[in-house]
Amino acid sequence: MMYIGPNSRNLAPDENPHLDELIDALRGEMLQYSGLLVMLREQEKHILGQQPADIVASAGQMSEQLTRVANARNQREKCMQSYISELDEALLKRQLSSQALGNRRRLLTELIAQINNLLHEIQDHLKRNHDLLIDTLIPNQKILDRIVWN
What's the structural domain count of the chain?
1
pLDDT of residue 77: 96
Average pLDDT over residues 16-42: 95
Q: Is residue 69 in some structural domain?
A: yes
Q: Is residue 35 in some structural domain?
A: yes
- Answer positive or negative: Cα dihedral of 74, 77, 79, 81: negative
Q: Is residue 12 in some structural domain?
A: no
State which residues form the domain around 33: 17-149
pLDDT of residue 5: 57
| Range list of β-strands (E), 1-150 | none
pLDDT of residue 87: 82
- Confidence band of 18 (pLDDT split at 50, 70, 90): confident
pLDDT at 7 over 80: no
Distance CA 25, CA 136 (A): 39
Q: Rounded to two decimals, what is the model's pTM?
A: 0.76
Q: Is residue 11 in some structural domain?
A: no
Could you give the 3-state DSSP secondary structure of residue 20? helix
The distance of Cα 109 from the centroid of its chain, to the nearest Å, equals 16
Q: Is residue 97 in some structural domain?
A: yes
What count of other Cβ atoms lies within 10 Å of the Cβ of residue 112? 13
Compute the mean pLDDT over every residue in the chain, rounded to the nearest whole number: 84
Question: Is the Cβ–Cβ distance between 39 and 13 less than 8 Å?
Answer: no
Could you give the 3-state DSSP secondary structure of residue 4? coil
- Confidence band of 1 (pLDDT split at 50, 70, 90): low
Average pLDDT over residues 55-67: 92
Question: Is the Cβ–Cβ distance between 28 and 77 less than 8 Å?
Answer: no
